Structure 1
C-alpha cells in the first residue's frame, strides 16, 4: 500500500517489524494499537505516561533522552521511523542533527509523521493519522475501536455540559512577563472548547505560541486558568505566581486553577480524558464521565 504523508509517497510491502518512535506521543500511539513488539526504541519523553500504556512503555528500549544521534538511530536497525511532528522527527534538534526524510529513504528506512510541519493540531486530522498509522501495521480494527470509544466519550462530555456557558479561561504555559499562552486554533484551544471553556486569547495566531502582557490578561479578567505542566516549574509554583499577579481576577477569587499535562489533548485517548479533567475544573456543578 502507498500512503501520502506530508507531501511524500510512502509505500509499504509488508507491516514494519522494527520501528523507532522518536517521541512520547508517537510511542503512546503505537502502544495503544498493541504494537509493543514492533517498537525497536523510543526517545524524547517529557511528560507523564498515559496510564493505560505505562506498563508497556516501560518495556521499550530508550535510545536517548532527547533525539538519538544518527549512529544510535541506525544501531536500532529500524525499517520505519515514526514521530509526532515532522520537523523534530526527521531533522532532529538542534536542526540538522538527525536524518532528513530523504536520507532515511536512501538508507531503506521509511518514515511517517502524525503532524506535518506548519499544520495546526486538529482532532479530526489526529483521528485520520492515527487510523493511517494503524493501517501501516494492519491494525485498523484496533484503531477504529479506539476512535469509536473516544468519540462516544466526547459525546458524553458534550451531553454533560448541557449547553453550559463557556468559561473565559487563560491558558498559561510559562513566563513571568510576558506570559506564554496558546492562541486560537490548535489542539489546546479545541480541547478547552470541548471542556466548556473559552480561550480569552483565541483571537491570536496559534503558532508560534503567543506571548501576552500581565496587564492584558488582567484586563480580560479570566474566570479560570489552565496551567500547562510543561517545564521545570511545578504547577503549584505557577499557581502561586498567577495568584500574585492576577489577585483581583475572578479566577483567583473563585480559586479556579486547572492543570493539564504538557501533551494534553495530544492523542485520541488524551483528548477524551483531558476534556473531562478540564471540564470538571471549569464546571464543578456538572457530572462528567470518566475516561478511559
Structure 2
C-alpha cells in the first residue's frame, strides 16, 4: 500500500508474492529498483476498494495503519474489520499511536518476514544493518555532534522533525544533533525562522518530500537563515522523504548524512 512496505517485501526477496503496489513518492532504493518497476501499480495514491479487490490479495501490508486499514480517505479505503470480513489479512509496520523506533522497525521487519517463511533472510539483513551502524559509529569516534536543522517545507512557520522519531534517530547515528530534538515527533513541529536563527544550526538537512525542489528550498533557506553557521559554511544536505525509513535505508543514510556533516571523515559506501 506504500513505498516503504513494498521495498521491505522486495528486500526480503518476495517479488513473486506482490499482487500490486501503490503510493510511491520517493526515489526507489537502488538494490530493488529493477524489481520494483515490475510490480503492478494499482494506484498513484490509494487504490479504491474495487481496484484493491480486483488484485485479489490475500494480505494487505502497509508502513503505517494510515495506509493499511485506517479507512482514509473515507469511503475509499478499507477499515481493518472490513478487510477481515472480506477474508483479507492485514499487517502494518507501525501501529496507531506508536512513535517511530528503530528497534521496533527491526522487530517488525523480521516479523513480516516470518509470515512468508523468510525469517532467516530478514535476520541476516538486520545483522548487516546493525554491523554497518557500528562501523559508522566507529568512524565518528569522539567527533562532536553537529547541531542540525531538518527542513521539510514552509516559509513561515517552517516544518521540521522533532525528537524521538526515526529521522531524529538516524540523524544521531550520522553524527548530528537535531536542534529541535526537544519537540514532540508527531505531529511534525512547526517553528519560526527566528527560533532557527537563535539556535544557530551548523548544518541543514533538506527533506525532498514535495513538489518544491531541494535547490529552491536551499535558495530560500540561504536568504532567511543567512546568519546561521550552516549558511555561512554552505553545509546543506538533501535527504529522501523516506530517509532512515527501512533497515537498509537507515544504514545507507547514516553514512550519506554522516559524510555531509563530517566531510573530513571517511564513511562506508552503501547502495
TM-score by length of 1: 0.92
Q: Distance in 1 between matches of 2:268 and 2:142?
A: 16
Q: Does the CA-based 8 Å contact 2:47-2:76 persist in structure 1?
A: no
Misfit runs of 4+, over 4 Å = none
What is the root-mean-square deviation in Å for CA atoms of aligned residues? 0.8
Shift of 1:87: 1.9
Aligned equivalent of 1:37 = 16
Which residues in structure 2 correspond to 1:1-292 (within 5 Å)?
22-292=1-271
2:19 alignment partner, SS class: strand
Q: String of CA shifts for 1:217-250, please: whole Å, max 9, x gaps.
A: 0111100000000000000100000000011110
Q: Distance in 1 between matches of 2:74 and 2:156?
A: 28
Shift of 1:97: 2.1
1:48 alignment partner, SS class: coil
| Unpaired runs of at least 5, structure 2 | none
| Unpaired runs of at least 5, structure 1 | 1-21
Q: Distance in 1 between matches of 2:142 and 2:153?
A: 31
Count of equivalent residues: 271
Q: Distance in 1 between matches of 2:227 and 2:25?
A: 34
Q: String of CA shifts for 1:55-88, please: whole Å, max 9, x gaps.
A: 0001100000001000000000000000000122
1:184 alignment partner, SS class: coil
TM-score by length of 2: 0.99
Residues 246, 40 of structure 1: CA spacing in aligned structure 2 closer, same or farther, 3 A cutoff? same
Q: Distance in 1 between matches of 2:267 and 2:201?
A: 23
